Amino acid sequence: MAAIRGVRARARAELTAEILRAARRQLAEVGAPALSVRAVARELGMVSSAVYRYFATRDELLTALIVEAYESVGRAAEQAAAADGRPPRERFVAACAALRRWAQEHPHEYALVYGSPVPGYQGDDRTTAAGSRVPLALLGVVRDARPRTGDEAALSPELRAQARGTADALDLEVPPEAMVRAVQVWTALFGLLSFELFGQLARTFDPADELFARAVDDLADDLGL
Amino acid sequence: MAAIRGVRARARAELTAEILRAARRQLAEVGAPALSVRAVARELGMVSSAVYRYFATRDELLTALIVEAYESVGRAAEQAAAADGRPPRERFVAACAALRRWAQEHPHEYALVYGSPVPGYQGDDRTTAAGSRVPLALLGVVRDARPRTGDEAALSPELRAQARGTADALDLEVPPEAMVRAVQVWTALFGLLSFELFGQLARTFDPADELFARAVDDLADDLGL
DNA sequence: TGTACATCAGTGAACGCGCGTTCACTGATGTAC
DNA sequence: TGTACATCAGTGAACGCGCGTTCACTGATGTAC
């Protein structure tokens, strides 16, 4: 028996990581739909069939990339939101800024997880779990803030039930009104990010820094932060 | 000389339309990145090279599909928003509902124009022009409403300039504050639609009817309608 | 109205390419005794 | 510590497929006189 875990196990972990790195580079070059096992192998100087020792299919490779992307953006949001002691509004603004920075630095990974679904690809529990990190980070700020929401119109029973169900599933004590608000803020935020990244703001609000700052400010108001 | 426009011209127009119809079906089946000239030709029972008499390249075909999609969704929004006499708020709500209906009935066309950009494809003036129909329809409602916006914080000079520039380019008399609000509403609306369609709301707010209704209501408030 | 020529639509074959995946193989690494 | 066997990583060739695009061609439609 070789050293801790053995030479093979270590080599395997390293090569798996290298394949993912190469795949990420490919992703940035040609986009998810055109990502190919052969191109990844080529970039690593290995024969395409060798990659199959590490990922059983192209879809498995895609899944790994999606999970990685979600964890990466989730980590960014968590770190920014977790500035303990700071007032919730500041943490929310910081999280939004972190999300935008991540999106701009990883446009193809952003498109992979928040853009159109890759045709023919089906996510599974792994991707769903990873994908909830960002909303959870945002909800963390909301929960700590205990926003007043009583002055708004009552939620419909169905919506209230969905909000409760979601809070329960996530094991969070967020009142339905705040939950619904949070989802609206979450979708509004990513709507703006998507439109900026995907070019819908071209020639109008294109360097969207100011628009984004303004929107985040208004969203913080909406959350009662 | 044959009848008006001639047999050839008419046949040409008809076949062009048929190719587009087939391409739309293909789009719905395999998504934009996998759309292929050969598959379209196959569906029409013609040889693939024949399609090149009608569209010079695959990208031209894609462009036509994109323009068509934008016009289709634009038309839907315009019709709903143009219910003359009705109060602006009602028209806004109707336009939002029409957009959602269109998105649900044409998920792949939605993804084509509002999702991740198709890798390697570059839009041009035709797609940009067609793409502005929806925002213009929404702005029409806002303009007719003359919302009060004085009570909000002042816009930054840069943002004000962008808003003015956009209004000028579109030849609209919308004050900067309303313009910025409108863009936020626009992005929030499509953020929600995208997340619903792309599956981000799965298992939480998935039949998003109630969430959508609530969000639209709040957005109407934001617009001062 | 009839004829000669030009334009166009669709065919079929081909070019050159890349893809995902499988498979039998070689040689190195690990395991059990 | 040494040896026999099992596991694993990477190779190279192959299968079967689909793609965008070009090109020389045939036959039908349109145009000019």
pLDDT at A3 over 80: no
What is the model's pTM?
A: 0.94
CA distance B145 to chain A (A): 21
The answer for B146, left when phi > 0, alpha when psi is -120 to 50, beta otherwise, is: left
pLDDT at B209 over 70: yes
Note the pLDDT of residue B146.
66
Task: State how far the Cα of B178 lies from the Cα of B78, in Å rounded to an integer.
Answer: 19
A-chain CB neighbours of B202 within 8 Å are 128
Structure tokens at B81: 């928003």
Confidence of residue B197 (pLDDT cuts 50, 70, 90): very high
Looking at residues B174-196, what average pLDDT do you find? Answer: 97
Looking at residues B49-69, what average pLDDT do you find? Answer: 97
Confidence of residue B145 (pLDDT cuts 50, 70, 90): confident
pLDDT at B214 over 60: yes
Which of A25, A20, A31 has the alpha carbon at shortest distance from A198? A31
How long is the CA B44 to C1' D26 vector, in angstroms? Answer: 21
Query: How many CB pairs lie under 8 A apart between chains A and B?
Result: 154
Task: State how far the Cα of B57 lies from the Cα of B65, in Å rounded to an integer.
Answer: 13
Answer with the residue of higher pLDDT: B130 or A150: B130
Note the pLDDT of residue B1.
38
Answer with the residue of higher pLDDT: B136 or B150: B136
pLDDT at A29 over 80: yes
Note the pLDDT of residue A146.
66
Confidence of residue B15 (pLDDT cuts 50, 70, 90): very high
A-chain CB neighbours of B180 within 8 Å are 211, 214
- Residues across chain B: 225
Which of A213, A73, A219, A194 has the alpha carbon at shortest distance from A141? A219
Q: Which of B116, B158, B219, B223 to mutate to test the interface with A (most CBs of A within 10 A)?
A: B116
Q: State which residues between 39 and 78 of chain A bring their CB within 7 Å of strand C.
A: 39, 42, 48-49, 52, 57-59
Cβ neighbours, 10 Å, residue B3: 8
pLDDT at B4 over 70: no
Looking at residues B138-166, what average pLDDT do you find? Answer: 84
pLDDT, tens digit, 9 for 90 and up, residues A30-83: 999 999 999 999 999 999 999 999 999 999 999 999 999 999 999 999 999 997
Looking at residues A189-213, what average pLDDT do you find? Answer: 97
Looking at residues B62-72, what average pLDDT do you find? Answer: 98
pLDDT, tens digit, 9 for 90 and up, residues B78-112: 999 997 789 999 999 999 999 999 999 999 999 99
* Crossing angle for the helix pair A88-105 and A176-198, to the nearest 10 degrees: 30
Chain D: nucleotides below 7 Å from protein CB are 8-14, 18-24, 29-31
pLDDT, tens digit, 9 for 90 and up, residues A121-150: 888 899 999 999 999 999 999 887 766 555
Task: State how far the Cα of A146 lies from the Cα of A182, in Å rounded to an integer.
Answer: 12
User: Hey, CA dihedral for B187, A157, B80, B64, is it positive or negative?
Assistant: positive
The mean pLDDT value of chain A amounts to 93
Note the pLDDT of residue B119.
79
Note the pLDDT of residue A150.
53
Percent of chain A with pLDDT over 90: 85
Chain C: nucleotides below 7 Å from protein CB are 8-14, 18-24, 29-31
